Amino acid sequence: MPSLANPFTLQKQFLFTSAFTCLVLCATLAVILSSFWAFAPLFIAALFYSILRWPVQLIAAILFLVPFLPLPLQGLKALGFSWGESASAVKELGLLAAGCVLAFRHGLKLEKSDLVLLGLFVWALVVTLIHPTSSAPSGLKDDFDFVIPYIVGRLISLRPGWIKTGLWVAGFVAILGLIEFFFAGIGTRMLLMGVQDIAELTPTFKADFFEGFRAGSTLGGPLEFGGFCAVALLVFGSFYRDLPKKYLVFALLIASGLIVSLTRMAGLALLLGLLFIAIRTGQKLRLATITLGLTALTLGVLLPRMGLQEFFKASLSGEDSSLGSHRTSLEEKSVYVLSHPIGTGAGTVGPRALVRDPNALQAESAFLQFGLEYGWLGILLFTGFCGWICFRLRKVGSNFGIAACAVAIAMFTMYFFSAIHMEFGLCSWAWVTIGFGIQQRGHSLA
């Protein structure tokens, strides 16, 4: 019998006995009610205990799993499972709950940009009240999803082990993208999503002057996959001097994933991010050498092998129709923003709004989407917030700080070309990195 002098042993036995009793009770109710919903209270209790007991480990688990979730979740929604939407929100709720636990325990040092971000959210609520729609809650959630990983990044203490594990994960995601591009094709994605006709997929899977399909791996599509690879490569570029040589293999796999995504905006974002890293670390000559080598390899070997010569030529000459449509969209939507100073409200713009309303506006830019939904003040505040992030990070001297600024430059470049701020699989990794770069003074919580 345990001694009263050892209350810790008594506590462990009490917890074990309580958990076993709850499990038996739930199993009995499940048999009586013929429903597995009887286990829901036990699952919720276990989830809350895990969040309170291991918040940092839970954050790590979510971040390392989240790149693999978009495609399966899309499949669940497409197949008509009513709980697919709820399952999709678990990752955000898990990060939010773990972040709240860390903020309560260790505090959160506020930055000046938080006032800008808060002002943007309050203004979004005001505009939404002026133009209420049934999709407003979903629209607000999509537009401000990035705030959760940004705050989480300011609360945790990233270690080199996170970087190594992240490169393993990104390398595996890239391998799946390569398999999709060279072997599996679009059929696997169509099967998982329950799609019978290729026309039902978003147009981003096709590209002018290329007969095949762009790779999206396990993310939502080629744009998200390409952006994810660019972010991972920038983190590698900031840490490569401190990583074992074997991680170069992962970098090559991730770079190959970026190529098969055929995402030009991600390539441009990567180039600008690498340019910042080279200038910040004094490695301009090495960057030029690597760039020339990779360019020669890509032009001489990869493009002919993949049948991308015409696609590459069209991209350089501007003959690709997507380039022209993007310019037209930017011009038209800019005029629309100027003529609508208050905006149209949350959930009225973007691809997800189009699913709910065939007449919804489309914006090929995250900045323009904020302008369309929240008017002049919305685009001004969002642009100001992004600019302040880059200004704040530009002189942080650690590897994490350099990585954070390079990732911020890349993300904001891609924001100019696409409304990918709603893609949590990509934004979770990017904004946790940016948040930790802003923090850099946090305590070690792992």
Along the 446 residues of the chain, how does pLDDT read in single tens digits? 444 445 445 555 545 555 555 656 666 655 566 665 666 676 667 777 778 888 999 999 999 999 998 888 877 776 666 666 666 778 898 899 899 999 999 888 888 889 999 999 999 999 999 999 888 998 999 999 999 999 999 999 888 899 999 999 999 999 999 999 988 888 777 877 767 777 667 778 877 767 778 999 999 899 999 999 999 999 998 998 888 989 989 988 999 899 899 898 999 999 999 989 988 888 766 776 766 666 666 655 666 666 666 666 766 666 666 777 778 888 889 999 999 999 999 999 988 888 777 778 888 899 999 999 999 999 999 999 999 999 999 888 788 999 999 999 999 999 999 999 999 999 999 999 999 999 874 333 33
Q: How many domains does the chain have?
A: 1
Query: For 368-406, what is each residue's pLDDT tens digit?
Result: 999 999 999 999 999 999 999 999 998 887 889 999 999
Inside any domain, residue 9: no
Domain span holding position 333: 49-106+115-439
Separation of CA 396 from chain center: 23
- CB atoms under 10 Å from CB of 107, counted, come to 11
Tokens of 209: 């002057």
CA-CA distances (angstroms) from residue 357 to 145, 325, 337? 21, 22, 20
Tokens of 121: 């959210």
Tokens of 331: 């011009």
Inside any domain, residue 146: yes
Tokens of 263: 């995402």
What are residue 263's phi and psi, to 5 degrees?
Answer: -110, 100
Q: What SS3 class is residue 159? A: coil
363: which residues sit within 8 A by CB, 6+ positions away? 329, 333, 349, 350, 369, 372, 419
Inside any domain, residue 120: yes
The CA distance from 96 to 245, in Å, is: 36
In 3D, which of 231, 279, 162, 228 has the Cα closest to residue 434?
Answer: 231
Inside any domain, residue 320: yes
Question: b/e string for 123-143 if b means 16 or more Cβ within 10 A?
Answer: bbeebbeebebebbebbbebb
Query: For 84-143, what is each residue's pLDDT tens digit?
Result: 666 677 889 889 989 999 999 988 888 888 999 999 999 999 999 999 988 899 899 999
Tokens of 218: 């396990």
Scanning 131-246, the segments in alpha helix (DSSP H) are 136-143, 147-153, 160-179, 187-193, 222-239
Pair 77, 84: CB distance under 8 Å: yes
Pair 230, 268: CB distance under 8 Å: no
Inside any domain, residue 387: yes
Inside any domain, residue 2: no
Cα dihedral: 421, 422, 425, 429 (round 10): 30
181: which residues sit within 8 A by CB, 6+ positions away? 212, 213, 214, 215, 260
Q: What SS3 class is residue 98? A: helix
Inside any domain, residue 5: no
Inside any domain, residue 235: yes
**Secondary element (H or E) of residue 323:** helix 321-339
Angle (nearest 5°) at CA 70 between 227 and 393: 35
